Structure formats: structure tokens, C-alpha cells
Amino acid sequence: MTELILIRHGETDWNRELRFQGQVDVPLNATGHEQARRLAQRLMAERLAIDHLVCSDLIRTRQTAQPALAALLPQLSLDALTDPRLREQHFGVVDGLRVDDIKARHAAAWAQWQRFDADGGMPGGETARQFHARVMEALRGLAHQHAGQTVMVVTHGGVLDMVWRTARGLGLSGPRQSDIPNAGLNRVRLQGDAIEIVHWADTQHLAGLPAQPVYDQTRLQRSTEGVTRP
């Protein structure tokens, strides 16, 4: 059995603007840096025995991981601990765009996206099924390589959604059903193909910070249905 401490990166300005960040290399904003600092403080205070750390190669995850790495595993270099398979889903032509921009420039693609079909994706991007395969290959490989250890994984909201769906036995179609806050603590155990959620979306260490922006796929789907089926 391998335990993974899964962390979504800290907040960026594009999170605030509800842009599709995808694989665009966007840095943390001031709130995101504070979230990363508090995360490291909490991990130190709880004396979690973390054996290894890995993160996506995008700057927002690297900046989130750095304070924890410096505090818990100072002997390791972040440059050697990145894995591009842990990147966010690739959204193709809409990477970097706000929802209103997508509706205006890529109306057909937006309508398709709102169906949340496992085999549908933005033009030039990944489908949910392709994304899921990439993510789970990376995480299961990590669990096998570090069997019996605890590994901190700093990654993206979409990656955590794939883990939640897999652990809960949900399909890849349909809107996101789990809370995935920036810099929240999520702990899962992997043994073979089985994934057990220990706890999810713990944000005690972020108390007092500004309320987080939320990309609510269920609300977006309902609003679309309300327009198309009055």
C-alpha cells in the first residue's frame, strides 16, 4: 500500500478570472503563495512522515511544492521531482480563455463541452478518457515505485477529479462532483488497482484567507440546460 498526499496548486490570477488554465504556465498570485506557505507549516506541525515528493512541471505546482520541500525534504532538488504526466488536462484552443470568450469564439466547442462527455474534448485538446489514462498511469506507477511509503503529489484540479472519480467508481462523463480547493489536503491509499479516500478537501490551514473562486461544472450544466430546455 502507498499513501498519497494530493495537493492542488495554490491560487493564480487566472483562477480568480475563471479562465481555462490547462497547460498554460501561469504562476501563483500573492494568495497562492500564502496558501503554499501555510500548507508547509501545517505539514511540519503535524509531523507527517513524507518520504518523497513529486509535482507537475508547471510553475504553479512547483511554486506550491517548494515551501513544503524546503521544510520536509531539503535534501531533494525540485528540478528532479517533476512529471509532465501530472499536468492539468489539455484544453487545446481554449487554454487561457474565460468562459465568455469561449462562448463567443468557439460556440460549438462550448456546447459540446457542456455535455461533459468522456470522449469529448476541446479542439486540439484531450478528452476526459485520454486525460484519465495519463493521470492514472502516472499515479499507479508512482505508487508501485514507492510502495509502502507516503508521497506528496502537487498537481491540478482536473487530476484530483480523475482520482475522485476512480476511487468512487464514477464514470468519466458528467460534471465534477467533488470539492477541490486550491492548496487543500487530500489523502488517498493505493493498493493494486484499488484507491481508498482517507480524507478530502481539508482546508483548515487556509482559515481566514479570501474565499476561493469555484468553477462549478454542475451549475454550468444546469444553466445550459435551462437555456436549451426551458
Burial pattern 62-73, b for ≥16 Cβ within 10 A else e, equals: bbbbbbbbeebb
Is residue 137 annotated as a catalytic residue, yes or no?
no
* pLDDT tens-digit series, residues 183-197: 999 999 999 889 999
User: Confidence band (pLDDT; 50, 70, 90) for 222?
Assistant: low
Q: For residue 169, what are the domain limits?
A: 2-207
pLDDT value at 62 more than 70 = yes
Q: How far apart are CA 66 and CA 154, in angstroms?
A: 10
Least confident of 17-31, 43-57, 139-153, 210-224: 210-224
Residue 34 in any domain: the answer is yes
What is the domain-level CATH number for residue 64?
Answer: 3.40.50.1240
Q: What are phi and psi of 196, to 5 degrees?
A: -115, 130
Per the residue annotation, which of 3, 9, 156, 205 is the catalytic one? 9
pLDDT value at 49 more than 50 = yes
pLDDT value at 143 more than 80 = yes
Q: How far apart are CA 205 and CA 35, in angstroms?
A: 8
Cβ contact 22:104 at 8 Å = no
Domain total of the chain:
1
User: Confidence band (pLDDT; 50, 70, 90) for 217?
Assistant: confident
Residue 221 in any domain: the answer is no
- Residues annotated in a binding site for substrate: 8-15, 60
Q: How far apart are CA 131 and CA 86, in angstroms?
A: 10
Residue 72 in any domain: the answer is yes
Per the residue annotation, which of 88, 126, 132, 156 is the catalytic one? 88
User: Confidence band (pLDDT; 50, 70, 90) for 220?
Assistant: low
- Residues annotated in a binding site: 8-15, 60
Residue 218 in any domain: the answer is no
User: Confidence band (pLDDT; 50, 70, 90) for 215?
Assistant: confident
Q: What pTM was estimated for this model as a whole?
A: 0.94
Q: How far is CA 11 from CA 33, 60, 130, 219, in A?
A: 8, 8, 26, 21
